[in-house]
Chains A and B, each alone.
Chain A
Amino acid sequence: MSALLSLFEKDVREHGVTALVLALATTGVVIVTLGQNASAAFSMSPFDVVRFALLSYLPMIALIVGNRLVVREYLSRTRLFVEALPVGQLGPLLLKYLLGIAYLGLLVTGLILLAANAAGLADDVTLHYVMLLLGKSLAVVTLYWSIVFCFSLCGHLRLVLYAALAGVLAFIAWWPGIDQSHFAPFELLDEQLFVYERDVVPWSALAGTLALAGVFTLAGFLLSRLGDGSVADRLARPMTRRDIVAFGVLLSGGLGVAGTLSEGDVSSGGAFTSEFTVRADEPPIAVLFIQPDGLERLEPCPKARFADAVPDDFQALTPDLLCCFLHDR
């Protein structure tokens, strides 16, 4: 136990200042943005402000944390020093994993609580809603960190992996016909701002995201032990000139593909987010279809009937926002 405490103390001593600066800077930016938002004529929900901040900064913060906690240990080969100390093989790495996830989780929790504190009457904040947002955010943070953790063990190859991941994300986000809400992590990025959506706990998306995080985490730990750690060591060796050229070619190719995809971006219009809700992102509309009490259940099911009732172009629903009940034709 004292060995792990020593490692913990060492990591805090080594990275504490950077971690503190990052946290303070992010919190400061969010507080300023929340203040500006509150005084603006047309303000967003504070949760939307925090969501935007997290989507923008969290990947970067996770990268910095991963670089300092894991990558540096491998590139500078100080891992070999720790490896020979009387401590278990997985202990030091597990500690780093937990430190990373705890730091990011605390940061996100703090920001969401800030948003909850700044929320007004119109936001209709309940404890359940805050817990829902926290749960979703922490699941996404776990996935972020698991990916960064796994890739950080890949030495210089991580740059290629990040580029490839960016390519996959661009593909999912921009390729016409792919509905990203079908992918677990993306589904959790939905802010669920509409009051009547807040009871919906996306269990399957939470489970999917955590499962994906588990896969990356497991892959990271397996990689760290592959060939008694020699594979991770080899990957951490400096890049050769050939590696750099190959990476450059890959990156420029990926950017070209991403550019092409973005040109072909077609808004998918509205989509059902639950059995009774249809949503569109642009303009931000959600329509709730409520089955009136006392009426016999309509056949076919409301979703199918609703789909029959609305035109293909969901934009046409805009004038019908106040409609909460569709009569039988």
Chain B
Amino acid sequence: MNLSVDADNGSEYGPESGEGSPNSGRATLRAPLHAPLHAPLRTPQNSLEQPEVMIALRDVRKRYGSLSVLSNLQLSVQAGEVFGFLGRNGAGKSTAIRIIMGITRADAGTVEVFGRSLEDDVIEVRRRIGYVAQEQNLYPWMTPRVLARFVSGFYPRWDAARWLQLNKDFGLPPKRRIGTFSGGMKARLALSVALSSRPDLLVLDEPTAGMDPVARREFIDLVREHTARDGATTFFSTHLVDEIEAVADRIGIIEGGRTLYEGRLAPLRDSLARYSVAVEDDVPDTLPGSFAREQARVLENVERRGRRILTLQFEHAAPSDAAAPLSPGWRREPMTLEDMFIATVATGRGATHRPVADTSATGDGMPDRS
């Protein structure tokens, strides 16, 4: 399922279009096909002009031997936004980031950062990126002060005053060996290094992995505070969905090396709904309310504690509780972003990837539309 959302109204999304598209046969929503996969974001502030595209990945492919890590990955990150890059472990997030950083070369496809190809001048591109890696492989014998001296040689825009201020704000002892730092301290140190280089783009590759909840919350707060203050574009990769929910303007969901969804959170949230019905043997013949006739697809069909739970994806916004009277026995379940993420990824894997209308034919006990 490859979807694109026009953020202006969040109501148009459709399958990846275009002839020869590798995913064109896997469209899930019968939505208007005129919406391009990666339509430019039009925010209220800059609706009149095309915003600068900070990161553009088109049909990016990467293999390691026989293992295909990325297959036709598509991404577009606009200037000034916080972009949440969601994916399970092993989905290809880190490889995509290494490609964006110019550390790894893509086998095929186009990679543009700040509107220029990485082939042109990867060093200049990296000078404008602040990067916080998943693992903080900092020199353990260095102190933060020595680290700053070392790193400042790489960044012409290094801001020593800001470094000092950030260190103070982040509570980092300047003369203590980094080897004695906790994981959270190392991540904060890496963030302060990244921010002190005055980056145009901040790339965070699962920086909170391995942190305890308190340290994670602190880190997220710092990211939120500083991205809001600087207005720098932030590319935040994680598999922890709640982190993204707190900070992201738009999200991209990746699974198996390809983009499953790219757009704002709200349209994704609006397109999904979860209903449950208490059943003993079989699911009732009717779907909830009038929207049973909608073009919807079953993303999940599971049984939990005696209730059959269906997660549906709708062509347009899923009906709200108020607008949609439910048939007896049915109730709408709240969906967190994590639920949506899991449902989307499940669809991407092809777990339950059929129109509701088709489910009766499968004999799996799913309701028929008619």
Question: Residues on A close to B: CB < 8 A?
Answer: 2-3, 5-7, 9-10, 13-14, 76-81, 83-88, 227-230
Contacts and interface: CB of A to CB of B under 8 A. Distances in A.
B180 to A, nearest CB: 15
| Best-buried of A13, A77, A80, A81 by chain B (most CB within 10 Å) | A81
Contacts of B42: none
Interface of B: 64, 98, 101, 103-105, 123-124, 126-127, 131, 133, 135-141, 146, 149-155
A78 B149 CA distance: 16
Given A84-B103, A86-B126, A86-B127, A6 B154 contact: yes
Contacts of B155: 86
A228 B137 contact: no
Nearest to A79: B137
Nearest to A8: B153
Contacts of A85: 126, 151, 154
B64 A230 contact: yes
A87 B140 CA distance: 21
B309 to A, nearest CB: 41
B123 A86 contact: yes
Contact of B135 (A10, A80, A87): A80
Contact of B154 (A13, A80, A87, A228): A87
B141 A88 contact: no
B153 A2 contact: yes
A14 B133 contact: no
A80 B133 contact: yes
A6 B150 contact: yes
A92 to B, nearest CB: 11
Contact of B103 (A3, A7, A78, A228): A228
Contacts of A9: 149-150, 153
Nearest to A228: B104
Contacts of B151: 6, 85
Contact of B138 (A78, A83, A86, A228): A78
A78 B126 contact: no
Contacts of A7: 153
A157 B338 CA distance: 43
B123 A88 contact: yes
A230 B65 CA distance: 12
B95 to A, nearest CB: 10
A228 B94 CA distance: 14
A84 B150 contact: no
Nearest to A85: B154
Contacts of A77: 135, 137
A18 to B, nearest CB: 12
Contacts of B136: 81
A85 B105 CA distance: 16
Contacts of B126: 84-86
A5 B137 contact: no
Contact of A13 (B131, B140, B146, B152): B146
Contact of B140 (A10, A76, A80): A76
B365 to A, nearest CB: 46
Contacts of A87: 123, 154
A324 to B, nearest CB: 63
27 contacts: A3-B153, A3-B154, A6-B150, A6-B154, A7-B153, A9-B149, A9-B150, A10-B139, A10-B150, A14-B139, A77-B135, A80-B133, A81-B133, A81-B136, A81-B137, A81-B138, A84-B101, A84-B103, A84-B126, A84-B131, A85-B151, A85-B154, A86-B124, A87-B123, A228-B103, A228-B104, A230-B64
Nearest to A91: B123
Contacts of A3: 153-154
Contact of A84 (B133, B140, B152): B133
A78 B154 contact: no
